[in-house]
Structure 1
Amino acid sequence: MSQTYIDWDVARKTGHRIASDGPKTSVANARVVVEELRSAAERAHQPVADTARLNPGSTQTPVHVVDRTTWIDVNAGSMGALVQPAVERITAQRLAGPRVRAVGAKIAGAEVGALLGYVSSKVLGQFDLAPEGQPSLMLVAPNIVKVERELGVDPHDFRLWVCLHEETHRVQFTAVPWLREHVITSARELMIDLVPDPEQLPERMQQVVARLPEVVRGGGGGLTDLFTTPEQRAEVAKVTAVMSLLEGHADVVMDEVGPQIVPSVADIRKKFDARRAGGFGPDRLLRRLLGLEAKMRQYRDGAIFVRTVIDQVGLDGFNTVWTSPETLPLPTEIADPPAWVARVHG
């Protein structure tokens, strides 16, 4: 029987308990929302591909319109597949006996489930890489409806606008065949490296205690920073640079396509950006601890990188970024786009 240090069944059940059902709506209206989101994703696909000048060819991935609990279930499965190599390293080190491991797995499962439950009420859409399965685009219907109501924007325009960003991710991963495996492999290698040796644990805990106030004040990238060495943070930065590229590129493409097919796009972008920058109190603190504020910076920094590179070498010159893992931006280049241009274009 395979070893585990995370009880994924506990994770799913915990996430389900924490996640609410979302905004109230009738069954008939819910069906309308689901169908409209499916249609919006299809409407967005070709304009996104044309604007990005990326050709996904005949390779397609399914679009699923889901509720919060389904999003939790899918992500629990994908996370389990992603972290399995790290679990195997822990098992090989024999860091705990069977009884301790069983108890620890339930605790870890509850913690992961709490995280999934919290995020499930925030995320609007996601391209699921599905490390051991079929990639798919997920649109989280209750969250989209919740945000469109909170912002007071045209719901039909908002649903299409959200799909522009998420469809860009689907185009990225279908038009660039090596990208999915590269991201998965990079994440797995990082997780394996993050597994501490037993003799390192006391020092790591001292670092956590010493640096927690910095994270609470808003410094760093969240709890992850507390458990990593400078060398590991450098590896995290490499993965983060790729995520910044993907998120920033999606924002740039949606802003290019938006005025063409979303009539109220200016109003939506203005209100949505204000929402991204907002938040206070316990929710803001939790976002800091989980590194979600760092996620918001990925959109901003990545979009600046993409726009600056396009201004310098044009869209085709920018698309050189998709040639191979070696042409992806380094962490320092995300903040210094001309350095990427100089390295890749000479």
Structure 2
Amino acid sequence: MSDTPFGFGLPPEEPEDGDDGKKKGSEGGGQGGQGPANPFGGFGGLPGGSGGQGGPGGDNPFAAMFGSLNPNDLGAAFQQLGQMLSYEGGPVNWDMAKDIARQTVSAGTADGTKDSSVSPGERSAVEEAVRLADLWLDGVTSMPSGAATSVAWSRAEWVEATLPAWKQLVDPVAERVGAAMGDVLPEEMQAMAGPLLGMMRSMGGAMFGQQIGQAVGVLAGEVVGSTDIGLPLGPAGKAALLPLNIEAFGKDLGVDKNEVRLYLALREAAHQRLFAHVPWLRSHLFGAVEGYARGIEVDTSKLEDVVGQLDPSHPEQLQEALQQGMFQPEDTPAQKAALARLETALALVEGWVDAVVHEAAKPRLTSADALRETLRRRRASGGPAEQTFATLIGLELRPRRLRDAARLWASLTDARGLDGRDALWEHPDMLPTADDLDDPDGFVHREQMDFSELDKMLGEAAGGTRKPDLTKDTDADDGTGTEGDSDK
């Protein structure tokens, strides 16, 4: 588990001569590693400054903006600083997040691939793949299609379409951390410290916006659809694929690109069915994130000491304090319970998708096994889902959970059929638990016995078999002859 819910940061810089590679306040940020040790680390990528990705001054936004600017740029830098300090919105500056995400997308991925508009041919190929995927899924699940439309997105379009979902995910966590800025002072002192607290909130919103924008921008260069991280990030009923990223995904696999596209379309369409026909699932997953946010506790004693020493005329002191872990969140039982619920629910979602997609693809795609294993290894090596959750809320979705969940759903299919398996999604209390994922065969065996008993009871009721009247004395039918007495 990472140290902080907002460990979004930049990819580690290459160590310079004599540098041990450990940058204060920005260790291991970005994709594939744990985030910095505080929720505001890695604030070096302000637009217009020199502290962008891999640039100097990454540990201090003010040094990033002013350290290497020529005099002609100072006016723009001060204007940017003024905009940052004048922000009066919610806990995250989403305008800044959107701008930085778009800039990150425009910069391209590490291999030099630049974003591009979707061509008419790519759009048609995606629509055909989703249509065929839905047709194949009809035979392996009782849930009907959940995609009213299918779309092909560029990376920039993915950013635009998913930001509302990110806002719903991130705001509760940022709100709880940001509230600590005002909670540390006695009520009678808050009015006196109003300007300082206002500045801290404005900078906090900007810092959150910068980190989230970077993370979403980097993620846009890797995801292949709208459900890669196991959550419905796009609009409801809209199956979406990213042709540019699908091409990059299949580049070195040695698999026909049409098969790659179709397999990924199967996964996207399966996710859409699940979220469309299990109405409580979205709120259940997002609610687990909110539950985590409610469990965040901040070391207010340390915050009180730092706030008392801040000089409003030297705002860079705030950044230095933030980098020293002023808002280091503490592990609490509420956090751990929420993360456990979220991890189990995500494993069940991904396991169900894995099982039904494999059942649909296996007899039709020669590369089905290879593509399935590639996606599983992507999880194991820290794919987009794991990286995003690890940096967002400290959750590491373990691949073992996914394999166990997929095996459980496949076994349930054999034991209960498609209808019986999918019926478990009718209510969250019917789903397997974390303990059941540790013993999938045990859960299937118990469910099979319970299902057989239910079938027997329903059959007796349909056939008119008299069921015992539980309102009578239990001794009336014990073979002692008292039943005859009761007729007298």
Task: Give the TM-score normalised by structure 2.
Answer: 0.56
CA contact (8 A) 2:148 2:238 kept: yes
- Separation (CA, whole Å) in 2 of partners of 1:256 and 1:103: 50
Q: Does 2:234 match 1:145? A: no
**Is 1:114 equivalent to 2:201 in the alignment?**
no
CA 1:34–1:240 in 2, change beyond 3 Å: closer, same or farther? Answer: same
How many residues align structurally? 317
Give the equivalent residue in structure 2 for 1:195: 296
| Other-structure match for 1:101 | 201
Amino acid at match of 2:232: L
Whole-angstrom CA distance in 2 between matches of 1:262 and 1:330: 33
Asked if 1:33 is matched to 2:122, the reply is yes
Residue 125 (structure 1) aligns with: 225
SS where residue 64 of structure 1 aligns?
strand
For 1:5, give the aligned amino acid. P
Q: Please list, as runs of the form range in 1=range in 2, the aligned pairs for 1:273-292 lying within 5 A after superposition.
A: 273=376, 277=380, 290=391
How many angstroms does 1:53 deviate by? 1.8
Distance 1:232 1:269, change over 3 A: closer
Structure 2 residue ranges without an equivalent (≥5): 1-86, 185-196, 304-327, 451-488
RMSD: 3.8
CA distance in 2, matches of 1:12, 1:330: 37
- Of 74, 91, 106 in structure 2, the residue corresponding to residue 5 of structure 1 is 91
Query: For structure 1, which segment, 105-114 or 11-20, has the greater mean C-alpha deviation from structure 2 after superposition?
Result: 11-20
Cα distance in 2 for partners of 1:63, 1:169 equals 13
Amino acid paired to 1:121:
G
Counterpart residue identity of residue 14, structure 1: I
Q: Does the 8 Å CA contact 1:129/1:135 hold for their aligned counterparts? A: no
Shift of 1:316: 3.3
Give the match for residue 278 of structure 2: 176
Deviation at 1:266, TM superposition (A): 4.0
2:480 aligned residue: none
Q: Percent identity?
A: 24
CA drift at 1:162: 0.6
C-alpha offsets along residues 3-54 of structure 1, whole Å, 9 cap, x if unaligned? 4121112222222333354686998994322320121011111321331122
Q: 1:95 deviation in Å?
A: 4.4
SS in 1 for 2:251: helix
Distance 1:189-1:34 versus aligned 2 partners, 3 A rule? same
Cα distance, 1:238 vs structure 2: 0.9
Classify the secondary structure of the residue corresponding to 2:102. helix
Relative to structure 1, is the Cα distance of residues 326 and 247 closer, same or farther in structure 2, using a 3 angstrom cutoff?
Answer: same
Q: Which has the higher mean CA deviation after the structures are superposed, 11-20 or 106-115?
A: 11-20
Query: Secondary structure at the residue paired with 2:241?
Result: strand
**Aligned residue in 1 for 2:427:** 324
Residue 279 to residue 180, structure 1, CA distance change in 2 (3 Å): closer
CA contact (8 A) 1:329 1:340 kept: yes
1:209 matched to which residue of 2?
none
Which one-letter code corresponds to 1:164 in the other structure? Answer: L
Residue 413 of structure 2 is matched in structure 1 by 310
Q: Which residue of 2 aligns with 1:213?
A: none
Out of 241, 245, 260, which is 2:348 matched to?
A: 245
Query: In the alignment, which of 152, 164, 169 is matched to residue 82 of structure 1?
Result: 169
> Conserved in 2, the CA contact under 8 Å of 1:3 and 1:91?
no
The CA distance in 2 between the partners of 1:141 and 1:267, in whole Å, is: 20
- TM (normalized to structure 1)? 0.76
Matched, 1:156 2:243: no
The one-letter code of the counterpart of 2:344 is A
Kindly provide the CA deviation profile for residues 61-110 of structure 1, in whole angstroms up to 9, marking residues without a partner as x. Answer: 43231122222233322111334455565676634822111111111111
Letter in 2 for 1:75: T
Instruction: Give 1:60 shift.
Output: 4.2
Structure-2 change in CA distance of 1:276 and 1:9 (3 Å): same
Aligned to 1:54: 143
Is 1:4–1:87's contact at 8 Å kept on the other side of the alignment? no
User: Is the contact made by 1:3 and 1:87 (CA closer than 8 Å) also made in structure 2?
Assistant: no
Task: Give the CA deviation at 1:242.
Answer: 1.0
Q: Which shows bigger deviation, 288-297 or 101-110? A: 288-297
Amino acid at match of 1:103: M
Match of 2:138, SS? helix
Is the contact made by 2:141 and 2:419 (CA closer than 8 Å) also made in structure 1?
no
* Cα distance change on mapping 1:201 and 1:169 into 2, 3 Å: farther
1:65 and 2:152 are equivalent in the alignment: yes
Alpha-carbon separation, structure 1, partners of 2:240 and 2:443 = 32
Match of 2:461 in 1: none
Distance 2:221 2:410 in 1: 31
Aligned-partner Cα distance in 1 for 2:242–2:302: 38
Measure, in 1, the Cα distance between the counterparts of 2:151 and 2:301: 43
